[in-house]
A and B are shown apart, each in its own frame.
Chain A
Amino acid sequence: MFNEKDIITRILNKDFQAFELLVRQYERLVFFVINRLVHDHQDKEDLCQEVFIKIHKNLYKFEFKSKLSTWIARIAYLTAINHLKLNKQEWLSEYPDNIDQYYFTNENPEHTLIKKDTVHYVNELIQEMPLQYRTVLTLYHLNEFSCLEIEEITGIPEGTVKSYLFRARKLLKEKIEKDLKKKEI
């Protein structure tokens, strides 16, 4: 059983085994966030390492006001955002003037649509979506955070989180529907 308070106390007392346990517990969470937000494959492991180094350095600041997972996800989210800003990879284009007008234009992943592999196909589609949609989908579905927790992590108001979530899922459903129908023809 992973006891947050006990683990944190041990880490603050320089117990490195306890820190390894913490990394094992949250490495998937951190990876999911980094993986969805950052496209560059080479940077992903380094960024995950950077997140855990920041966690170790700042753990004494954690005041148990939120869940540890929320705090860790926020660090992962901000690290990914900073990386995108620094590399200017997609940061500017990720904030289109009217995100509600977004629609899929790239038809490339179509060939990967095999009914058995919807998961893979959906993941490819998500990678094409704007940053905000990718963020809320990942935090809500993969990391199972509530909309309120997503607000804590990203700073996006809860109402906007719900709206992004709804719109992102609707877009994905319409795309799947269109592609499946095309495939049937």
Chain B
Amino acid sequence: MKASKDQKIQEMLEKGLRNDPQQSFENDDLLYYKQLFQALDSGQESGLPENFAAKVTKKIQKATYQKQDIWFALTIILTFAATFGTAYLVLRLINPDVGSQFYEINIRFKYVIVLGVLTFLGIFYYKDKVNVWN
């Protein structure tokens, strides 16, 4: 009986019939339910900072650009490596001596090549850092 009365009041308030003159419920029940519905429906304040949207967007933007930069840097490095490898194989096929010379020259300058690759990656790392500071 009580449950069904509660149900009726809740249904009535859900439908927005807050001032239904036909209501035959105890005034107290209706009053408390009305208060409750008003409290439940009243909007809460967002506890997020004002700049939340900008902050999240910036974070996602940074992550997206970083990912793109990493892929770009890897593509460049792999292209160089593939070019060197192909050149070496082609030279070996044409003339094995020239191929060996080409390999030796590259080995002789290995530190320069490694330094070049590291500098290249460093530039990307520095660029990302600058973006973070900005």
A interface, CB within 8 angstroms of B: 14, 16-17, 19-20, 23-24, 27-28, 31-32, 35, 44-45, 48-49, 52-53, 56, 118-119, 121-123, 137, 141-142, 166, 169-170, 172-173, 176-177, 180
A169: contacting residue among B3, B10, B38, B60, CB under 8 A: B10
The interface residues of chain B, by DSSP majority, are classed as helix
Q: Is the CB of B64 within 8 A of A14?
A: yes
In the assembled complex, the CB of A155 is this many whole angstroms from the nearest CB of chain B, namely: 23
Q: Is the CB of A122 within 8 A of B60?
A: no
List of B residues within 8 angstroms of A31 by Cβ: 46-48
Q: Is the CB of A172 within 8 A of B36?
A: yes
List of B residues within 8 angstroms of A49 by Cβ: 55-56, 59
Query: In the bound complex, how far is the Cα of B19 from the Cα of A27, in angstroms?
Result: 34
Q: Which residue of B lies closest to A25 (CB)?
A: B53
Chain A interface: which of B27-35, B90-98, B105-113, B118-126?
Answer: B27-35
A119: contacting residue among B3, B33, B42, B54, CB under 8 A: B42
- Give 26 pairs: A residue, B residue, CB < 8 Å, sorted on A: A20-B54, A23-B52, A24-B53, A27-B46, A27-B53, A28-B46, A32-B44, A48-B56, A52-B56, A52-B60, A53-B63, A56-B60, A118-B35, A118-B39, A121-B39, A122-B36, A122-B39, A142-B40, A169-B40, A170-B3, A172-B36, A173-B6, A173-B36, A177-B28, A177-B29, A180-B32
